[in-house]
Amino acid sequence: MKKPYVPPKAAPASGTAQEDLLADMLRSALTAVREHLELDIAYMSEFVDGDTVFREVIAPKMTDMIAAGELGDGLQVGKSLPKMETYCHHIMDGFLPPLITDTRELDISRNLQVTKDLKIAAHVGIPLVLKDGTKFGMFCGISHTPKPDMNARDLRVMEMFANMVTEHLDAQMMAHQKSGRMRERIDALVDQNDFEIAYQPILNIEEMRPVGYEALCRFTGTGRAPDVWFAEADDVGRLQDLEMAVIRKALNPLTGLYPLKFISINASPETAISEEFRAHMIKQPLERIVLEITEHAQVDSYEQLMQALKPLRRRGMRLAVDDAGAGYSSMRHILKLRPDIIKLDMSITRDLDKQPSHCALVRAMVHFSKETQGHVVAEGIETQIELDMLRSLGVQKGQGYFLGRPKIGLGGPQTLKPSLIA
């Protein structure tokens, strides 16, 4: 069974720019054809299984008649007629010519019920055939009076606009096919848990002992970075599915982890406000979980996010703003979300001894976090000098390659319960 084309104007509010472009172009093309050829109606149809479905109809003078059903239900957008009973089918298969100046002159057109229902006295239609040979539908015009003056030149004008529509449809179909393949890839990842979790230690840098671990997703063997996978999942509406699969796997070792340590997970605001996230997290030892919201995440409603996280935070889950200092959004996140932890972006940590302005920012963040009963975690620590500078500025916790690289899985005497080490 053929999957029907989703008309651009019926696409979600978050539809792509390409869909919007196709919608505008289609309506403009139909309007231009209708006006140039002095037709009453111009429309685009699509063949879906055994039906002809009207996808766009331009009929400014006939709006009331169409709405009242006086021209038949089939002429309304989204309505359909059996394909065998339409001009579209007969023109596509060569039984009727693309240009009919008077429908009474041909037996087929004269006897079609749709001729009477839609009051078709003249008809012009160009097949829309995609590059792969798919007979998509028709680009057509109707007149309620015969049009003896219409000729081959008018037909070429119709063909020009139809070809333009076909090119855009081809691009749209390719985009839909690409999105379908992307969804299949993401769904396979989620269904098969085809990823690994690496854990990077977070240390108390005064005592140099691990206090927790950040869970980082790794798509081994794919040759693609994690941010590429998550961006692709977001593009095709599968971000929440992928993030929840990662969160479930990331928290699995928590029961075997020494009780004083926590696991820090990442989630988008979209996932964090979902019922699926709440239902899963409420069953966890929340006092040992940190939720990180990245600086780069767009928060549509801080109030909604705060309300969704409120019962989880009340039970002990801590909230962190990641990548703080990387941009303006992190400051808004900090002020609006009032996080328990501010994670300094590695761009602030890097070469800290050579960046007086960065030192001032770190000092301000430390002071702010103390005022709000939180603390600062510095990311991306790679040298002894950076570590010493952070200590001198009052930062108590940090992570980075100098302190410990991410490793797949958790284990060993420093991480597991004593009872699990033997």
3-class SS letters over 151-172: CHHHHHHHHHHHHHHHHHHHHH
| Model pLDDT, residue 18 | 62
Beta bridge partners of 216: 198
| Model pLDDT, residue 76 | 79
Residue among 226, 229, 227, 263 at smallest CA distance from 247:
263
| Model pLDDT, residue 14 | 37
CA distances from 274 to 244, 245, 263, 360 (A): 10, 14, 20, 38
Give the 3-state secondary structure of residue 293. strand
| Model pLDDT, residue 172 | 82
| Residue range 362-402, pLDDT digits in tens | 999 999 999 989 999 999 999 999 999 999 999 999 999 99
| Whether the Cβ atoms of residue 379 and residue 346 lie closer than 8 Å to each other | yes
| Model pLDDT, residue 174 | 83
CA dihedral of residues 269, 270, 276, 278 (deg, nearest 10): 20
| Residue range 63-83, pLDDT digits in tens | 666 656 555 555 778 888 899
| Model pLDDT, residue 79 | 86
| Alpha carbons 367 and 371: distance in angstroms, whole number | 6
| Model pLDDT, residue 394 | 95
| Model pLDDT, residue 13 | 33
Beta-strand pair 135-143/122-129: antiparallel
Residue 61 CA to chain centroid, in angstroms? 39
Q: Give the start-end residues of each E strand in 267-412.
A: 289-294, 318-324, 341-344, 375-378, 397-398, 407-408
| Model pLDDT, residue 80 | 86
| Alpha carbons 253 and 213: distance in angstroms, whole number | 11
Residue among 119, 115, 98, 83 at smallest CA distance from 33:
98
Regions of the chain with pLDDT less than 70: 1-19, 62-74, 411-422
| Model pLDDT, residue 199 | 96
| Alpha carbons 337 and 329: distance in angstroms, whole number | 12
Q: What percent of the chain has pLDDT over 70?
A: 90
Neighbours of 295 (CB within 10 A): 20
276: which residues sit within 8 A by CB, 6+ positions away? 240, 244
| Model pLDDT, residue 223 | 78
CA atoms within 13 A on the CB side of 207: 6
